[in-house]
Amino acid sequence: MRNEQKGILYAFGAYGIWGLFPLYWKLLDQVNSMEILLSRVIWSFVFTTIFILLLKQKNLLIEDLKLLWSNKKIFLSLLAASFAISCNWYIYIFAVNNGHVIETSLGYYINPIITVLFGMIFFKERLSKMQLFAVLVALVGVVVLTISYGEIPWVALLLAFSFATYGALKKKITLNATRGLAIETLFILPFALIYYIYIMLTNNMSFLHVSVQTDILLILAGVVTAIPLVLFSMGAKLLPQYLIGFIQYITPTTLLIFGIVLYNETFSTIEFISFSFIWLAIIIFTISTIIEARKRHNIRHEVANVEI
């Protein structure tokens, strides 16, 4: 099997699992969203650390920590990224367990557009005219939805902005996916443990108090978090960025289908119109990205021929 085929399988696996997350979090709808987040942080740290030890990468993890400590800028960036992804996890869990699956879908549809804007604003990345047009079309979709709701779709926007912020903060931090997750959860671990002690003292804890099934699901939240991240990391190394960008829409599409079919959430004509603008923006942006990628490939090919 060629590397690109392997990469496609890894990417489909990652985004497919992320798309199935509502099924998992719905099994824990009897648990407070904050406790689910705390369990996700704690058990992600436990399982990724065990995995690192099994891979005999303890020394590499120590080297990563020393590097972070010696470079305060990178350290603070990863610390901020840890809080950003924790916020993203909490908003997502809360939204799924409170009947906002379709809005989470919207958030992950517009996330790539926000990521592009961040690239333009913070990293001086240039966009083609087609890409800029795609951003404007997506913005129209969000405005239509905002007007129809009578309020800003906070869940969708917070999901999109928190994940885009996480990506921007990690852009120049080259860490192995598994060790990176261990370090990110390590940063949040003290806060998670302190808050867990608080909910235990206030008799609001579900862990060890509801059922064995609930306890197992809370523990496995760490595994569920780690597996798609590792698959994504493996796929991203083997695939061009535009292909990863295209495959990522598996997740919000799955979320949208679940919201309408499984959870009977309202999907009105206005919401269909709004999503249609965003789907159109995605099509325009994807086509533009492929064209730009081919142009760069042709230029490199021509340069290589000239050098020969």
- pLDDT tens for 75-118 read 999 999 999 999 999 999 999 999 999 999 999 888 877 887 88
CA gap 231, 235 in Å, rounded: 6
Q: What rounded mean pLDDT belongs to the chain?
A: 87
**pLDDT of 258 higher than 90:** yes
Confidence of residue 26 (pLDDT cuts 50, 70, 90): very high
CA gap 41, 308 in Å, rounded: 53
pLDDT by residue (tens digit) across 228-251?
888 887 787 787 766 777 788 889
pLDDT at 33: 93
| Both structure tokens of 44 | 């992600």
Confidence of residue 211 (pLDDT cuts 50, 70, 90): very high
Q: Which is more confident, 36 or 120? A: 36
**pLDDT of 307 higher than 60:** no
pLDDT by residue (tens digit) across 124-183?
877 778 888 888 888 888 888 888 777 888 999 999 999 889 888 887 787 887 888 899
CA gap 195, 191 in Å, rounded: 6
CA gap 250, 242 in Å, rounded: 14
Cβ-contact 262, 30 below 8 angstroms = no
Percentage, residues of the chain above pLDDT 70: 95
CA gap 181, 173 in Å, rounded: 12
pLDDT at 7: 84
pLDDT at 221: 93
Burial class (CB in 10 A: 0-12, 13-18, 19+), 171: middle
Q: Which is more confident, 308 or 51? A: 51
Burial class (CB in 10 A: 0-12, 13-18, 19+), 62: exposed
Phi and psi at residue 151, in whole multiples of 5°?
Answer: -155, 160
Cβ-contact 61, 182 below 8 angstroms = yes
| Both structure tokens of 14 | 């990652």
Q: How many CB atoms lie within 10 A of CB 211?
A: 11
pLDDT at 174: 76
Confidence of residue 8 (pLDDT cuts 50, 70, 90): confident
Residues in Cβ contact with 253 at an 8 Å cutoff, skipping those fewer than 6 apart: 19, 105
| Both structure tokens of 89 | 């996890």
Whole-number Cα distances in Å, 170 to 8, 82, 173, 252: 23, 10, 5, 22
